[in-house]
Amino acid sequence: MLNQWFLIGALALVTYLSRVIGLEFMSRWKMNPTLRLYFNYVPIAIIAALLVKQIVLPFHGGLTLSIPVLLSCIGTAVMILLTKRFLPSVIVGVVIGVLFRYFFS
Amino acid sequence: MLHRKKSALKTAGAEALPLAIAIAAYGMSYGVLATQVNFTLLTTVAMSVFVFSGSAQLVAVAMLAGGAGTASVLLTVILLNLRNLLYGAALSEGLAPAKKWTRLLAFGISDEPFVLASARFKKVGPDPFYFAVVAGIFYIAWILAALFGALIGNQLDPQKWGLDLAFPATFAALLVPGLKGKPVIGTALAAVILTLVMEFIKPGNELTIIMIGLLAPLVGLYLHRRGRTHA
């Protein structure tokens, strides 16, 4: 619990600093366009990495593919491409994974 | 003056509401997920009140769920937050008339307000009031959604309802719509391959996410540069 409050405080601080530093100081510099692009690609890389870490899990020193998680992701991806709606897509993805678990494992 | 504020308020409300619904959807996912890593109702909502960042909060809880420690979560979020520097820099002129209040408005800087406000500033020039209304609407939506999500998360049996699956599904829904253009797709693919390699070499390594956040965008930059020289 104390750890959670510490994390919240630290996250709040680093996030606010990134906002206020950009606003107050970075505006005076002409930022390199390459650096701009780099900053924009970072979230894509992190989200993709987190996704893979959830689909492929460590297992007895090796790696194992979680089929329900994979199906859940594919279902969500297809749904959001078709409907462009976040929450229904997530729910459909979860339901697909749950159904697979229920019937096949 | 008052009339101008009224019209800015109306425009801001109309433009922010559709996005507020989308933000509430992320917020609810965050609320459900936070309870899965043993955040209480209070700490789940507190994080939304004090941090107010969808990407930072979702990534933080997903990393905690994967067993990451506080230090690696913080480093990853710092990396993730680098783009706020760009947003702040780009918005500074449009927010300047707010004078000492700009530091308060800074708290509202993130992806969606940036998109709306930069379009607005281009059209009508500096307008901190518009930004304040948009950020305020998003803030309220964000907090209420987290509360609602946490209430749901606390009620449901995670295994039975597949709440563990809500993590990957949420991240798939965050990632997929943005995959447009070779550099972005290349960054994502590089991240996928690098993660597999690094997980294979050392499964469950805490530094994997940070390393990939630093390395994979280089592939995107390379593809961007190559695309330009060929065009």
Q: Given an 8 Å threshold on Cβ–Cβ distance, is B212 in contact with A45?
A: yes
Q: Would you state the structure tokens that stand for residue A90, as one six-digit string?
A: 């997530």
The mean pLDDT value for A51-62 works out to 86
Nearest to A90 among B57, B60, B166 (CB): B166
Residue range of the domain that includes A100? 66-105
Nearest to B91 among A14, A23, A31 (CB): A23
ipTM of the complex: 0.90
In a domain, A99, yes or no: yes
* pLDDT value at residue B90: 87
A1 Cα to chain B: minimum distance (Å): 8
- The chain B residue lying nearest A74, using CA atoms, is B172
Nearest to B162 among A5, A20, A98 (CB): A98
**A2 pLDDT higher than 90:** no
- The chain A residue lying nearest B220, using CA atoms, is A41
* pLDDT value at residue A28: 75
User: What are B23-48's pLDDT values in tens digits?
Assistant: 998 899 999 999 999 999 999 999 99
- Rounded CA-CA distance A52/B172 in Å is 10
Determine which of B4-18, B53-67, B173-187, B209-223 has the lowest per-residue pLDDT on average: B4-18
User: How many structural domains are present in chain A?
Assistant: 1
Q: Yes or no: say if B179 and A83 are a contact pair by the CB < 8 Å rule.
A: no
In a domain, A33, yes or no: no
In a domain, A105, yes or no: yes
Q: Yes or no: say if B94 and B127 are a contact pair by the CB < 8 Å rule.
A: yes
In a domain, A88, yes or no: yes
- The chain B residue lying nearest A3, using CA atoms, is B70
User: What are A65-82's pLDDT values in tens digits?
Assistant: 999 999 999 999 999 999
* pLDDT value at residue A95: 95
When pLDDT is cut at 50, 70 and 90, the band that residue B231 belongs to is low
Tell me the one-letter amino acid at A41: Y
Tell me the one-letter amino acid at A102: Y
